[in-house]
Structure 1
Amino acid sequence: MRISTLQAFNNGVAGIQRNYSNATRTQEQISTGNRILTPADDPVASVRLLQLEQQQNVLSQYNSNLTAAKNSLTQEEVTLNSVNTVLQRVRELAVQAGNGALDPQDRKSIAAELGEREDELLSLMNTRNARGEYLFSGFQGKTPPFVLEGDKYIYKGDEGQRKLQVASSLTIPISDNGKSIFESVTNAGRLDSNIVAQPPASTLSVSAPLVSDETAFASDPGFPSQGIEIQFAADGSSYSIYQLPRTDDGAGNFNDTALPGYSNLSIDDDASSSDLLVFRGVTLHLDGTAQGGERVQLTAPVEPRNKQGILDTIANLRSALESPANGNTGVRDAVAVALTNLDHGMVSVDQARGNIGARLNVIETTQTDNEDVALVNKGVQAELRELDYAEALSRLSMQTVVLEAAQQSYVKIAGLSLFNAMR
């Protein structure tokens, strides 16, 4: 086979360039520490590395969301702790106000502190986060959740709950709306009492009904949905309880049967003391002296008031202490309702705090899981991308020897020429 001088030169140069390129590439791998410099080096590993980097970016976003969720829930928890502290102080003031030995001036002093606590609680319920959004407004972050209109506190937010995705299939709430925590509180004073029949000589008066036991009120048999009627015997010393509506013979004579276990119950005829009636979770005070024939009905109002906000509970108590409607009995009734409603409110706040604690625990475990996945991810990336230095150095040494041999052989072959033999 004939080999021209040009062909010999081209082959020599191509071999040197190829060997030089291999040595240079190995040196670049050593300097960067990466085995894969371009996707062509290992297409399969390159695709896998791209997937792992995408997963790592998603995990980084999840970690950012976890941090934001933790900060939001921590602020909400701190705020609710402060709310609970204020409610405990308000409850102490309510208990103090129930002391029958206090004079009107003492009660006004208590009412003054209740007013300050009411303002403090309003400020806490309208707390903003670091972004300037209200914590308890639901989705209406720019709207103050609670506003005083007239003598009532109105909730201006919505019932939304902001959420963040913290894992591929896990979304966690990072806020709670104020209506669910502070407004949807069971109202113990949701029933009305009304004396529908009373002889002229009777001094009987009744307090506002108090739902003191929610379990007994709602259990079977619970408090009748249409209410009850208390009818006093002719001698005024005993009474029976009937379920509404009652049936009569058309002449005003009732022919229905008293509820079992609640008939011919005796009462104290001392007008200076109060008799306590407890019926299926409802507490009622009977004051004065009954003459006989009195009928008292306990019913739900036409416009239900099953729920009452915490701020309204405090405001109602403050108003009752400032100007009691029925003297000591009015204060007694207002304090009883306020204490029960405050207890319900603190239960609602504690439930919200418990939910926040559960979410914070989920965030903590999710952060740990994400860190573990990220660590495994980085390990796989290192295994695919990073260079084996011992192998690379050995390969570079071999490539250097080959390059030097190619260079030396090229010099010798380049010196071979027919003209040199003809000199």
Structure 2
Amino acid sequence: MRISTLQAFNNGVSGLQRNYSDVTRTQEQISTGKRLLTPADDPVASVRLLQLGQEEAMNAQYKTGITAAKNSLTAEETILTSVGNVIQRIRELAVQSGNGALDSSDRGAIASELAQREDELLNLMNSRDADGKYLFSGSMGDTQPFVRNADGTYTYQGDQGQRNVQIASSSFVGVGDSGHMAFENIVNAARVTTNVDAANAGDALISRGLVTDGAAYRQFQDSYPNGVGVRFTSDKDYYLYDLTAPADPPVAITGSAGSFDDEPLSENIVKFGGVEFEISGTPQNGDRFTLESDRTAEKRSLLNVVRDLRVGLEAAVDSPDGNFAARDVTAIALTNLDAASAQVLSVQGKIGARLNVIDTTDTFISDVSLVNKAVQSELEDLDYPEALARMSMQSTVLQAAQQSYVKISGLSLFNFLS
């Protein structure tokens, strides 16, 4: 076959360009440290790298969520610890206020500190997280959860929901617990109304009934929806009767008759239907008292528990009735404060469990990221020894092509014409 001069030149230039392109590509791989410079270099590996990159981007988002959730839950746990400390101090004040030797000025001093502790609790329960969201307003992070009403009572304005943060592809963790669950949904020990019959001849008083056995109290509610009464047959003996039985004398509840040893009565406790109450003073034959279930007072908020104690101490006067009222309000507060403390500890336990889940998920995502990076490195990172050897070979080929091109380009029939 015949090869034209133009064809020879074109073939030589094409070979030089191809060899130069190979050297240039290898040099670029060495300078970047990447084996894949374009998807065309390895389409399958390029698709896999794209998937791994997307997964790493999602993991970065999950890491952000994990950090936000951990910060929020840690802040909430710190606030609850402070709330627990305040409750403990309020309980100490309640125990102190139950001392019968205190007068109204002493109780007033205790009430003054209670007012400060009340404000402290309000501020703690209205705390925000690092993002400016209220910690205890449920899913309504922009709504202040607790407000003080004009009459001094407190109202919860949040909801009972919870904000969730995604920390993995199918894992969510709750942050911003409901203040209703943490501080409002507290079982009220003083959910029994006790009354003194206006016709009583004696000077006996009855304390507010305290629920000491929830299961027995629920049975009491079902069995005696209208309540029960206490009737004295002397200043020592009494029996309980069902208020639905209007007979006179009322029909006694089976096995309910009892008596007191002291005369006059002093700190005498009566227990019935999971309820405990105290009768003080000297009842007369025929005196009556009633106990009725107050279904509207099943729950009590922490702030209102503290407020009730403070108001009760402020109102207590220096008299036997005042001392009895102070002792009554103190007993109620102590029982409810214990319930509130248990509720706060329960929420702290749930936060601890969620923090454990977050830590486990964080470790898992970190491990997955390490595996992904190892796979990415295997797919796209350059094998330097192989690349350097290849570049040496390609450089030799390029030099040979250049030298051969010079010789071939110098061949011409005209060189042999004289």
CA contact (8 A) 2:26 2:387 kept: yes
Per the alignment, in what secondary structure is the counterpart of residue 274 of structure 1?
Answer: strand
Whether contact under 8 Å (2:133, 2:142) holds in the other structure is: yes
User: Quick one: distance in 1 between partners of 2:288 and 2:109?
Assistant: 39
Counterparts in 2 of 1:7-406, with a 5 A limit? 7-149=7-149, 150-196=151-197, 198-199=199-200, 201-218=201-218, 224=223, 226=225, 228-232=227-231, 234-235=233-234, 237-243=236-242, 245-246=244-245, 248=247, 252=248, 254=250, 258-259=253-254, 262-268=255-261, 270-301=263-294, 304-324=296-316, 326-406=321-401
| Local SS of the residue matching 2:187 | coil
Distance 1:270 1:165 in 2: 67
Give CA deviations for 1:271-317 in whole Å, capped at 9, x if unaligned. 2513101123211111233333344321123x611111111111111
Identity rate of aligned residues, in percent? 52
Query: Could you tell me how far 1:383 is from its partner in structure 2?
Result: 0.3
Letter in 1 for 2:307: A
Per-residue Cα deviation, 1:350-397 (whole angstroms, up to 9, x for no partner): 111111111111111111111111111100000000011111111111
Q: What's the offset of the Cα at 1:243?
A: 4.5
C-alpha spacing 1:190/1:400, structure 2 compared with 1 (3 Å): same
SS at match of 2:141: coil
Larger deviation, residues 232-241 vs 348-357: 232-241
Q: Do the aligned partners of 2:194 and 2:292 also contact (CA within 8 Å) in 1?
A: yes
Quote the offset at 1:56 in angstroms.
Answer: 0.5
CA shift for structure 1 position 225: 5.6
Gaps of 5+ in 2: none
Measured after TM superposition, the shift of residue 129 of structure 1 is 2.4
Decide whether the 8 Å contact of 1:190 with 1:300 is kept in 2: yes
> Counterpart of 2:300 in 1: which secondary structure?
coil
Matched, 1:413 2:412: no
Please state whether the residue corresponding to 2:316 is helix, strand or coil. coil
| Contact kept? 1:230, 1:239, Cα under 8 Å | no
Please give the alpha-carbon distance, in whole angstroms, between the structure 2 residues aligned to 1:12 and 1:116.
Answer: 95
Q: Tell whether the 8 Å contact from 1:236 to 1:293 is kept in structure 2 after alignment.
A: no
Distance 2:232 2:243 in 1: 18
1:373–1:65 CA distance, 2 compared to 1 (3 A): same
- The residue that corresponds to 2:417 in the other structure is 422
Cα distance in 1 between the residues matched to 2:348 and 2:163: 16
What secondary structure does 2:228 align onto? Answer: strand
1:138 positional shift: 2.3
Q: Is the 8 A contact 1:212 1:340 kept in 2?
A: no
TM-score normalised according to structure 2 size:
0.93
Q: 2:139 touches 2:176 (CA, 8 Å); kept in 1?
A: no
Change (3 A) 1:105 1:221: closer
Give me the whole-angstrom Cα distance separating, in 1, the residues matched to 2:46 and 2:175: 38
Normalised by the length of structure 1, the TM-score is 0.92
**Amino acid paired to 1:297:** T
* Deviation of 1:221 (Å): 7.5
> 1:253, CA displacement in angstroms?
5.6
SS in 2 for 1:137: coil
Contact preservation (8 Å) 1:134, 1:145: yes
Q: Conserved in 2, the CA contact under 8 Å of 1:239 and 1:265?
A: yes
Unpaired segments of 5 or more residues in structure 1?
A: none
Shift of 1:81: 1.0
Aligned residue for 1:188, secondary structure, equals coil
Distance 1:100 1:24 in 2: 97
Letter in 2 for 1:292: N
- Distance in 1, matches of 2:18 and 2:278, equals 105
* 2:177 match: secondary structure: coil
Q: Which moved more, 1:239-248 or 1:328-337?
A: 239-248
Q: Shift of residue 236 of structure 1?
A: 5.2
Please say which of residues 264-273 and 172-181 is displaced more in the overlay: 264-273
Please report how far the alpha carbon of residue 244 of structure 1 lies from its aligned counterpart in structure 2 after TM superposition. 5.1
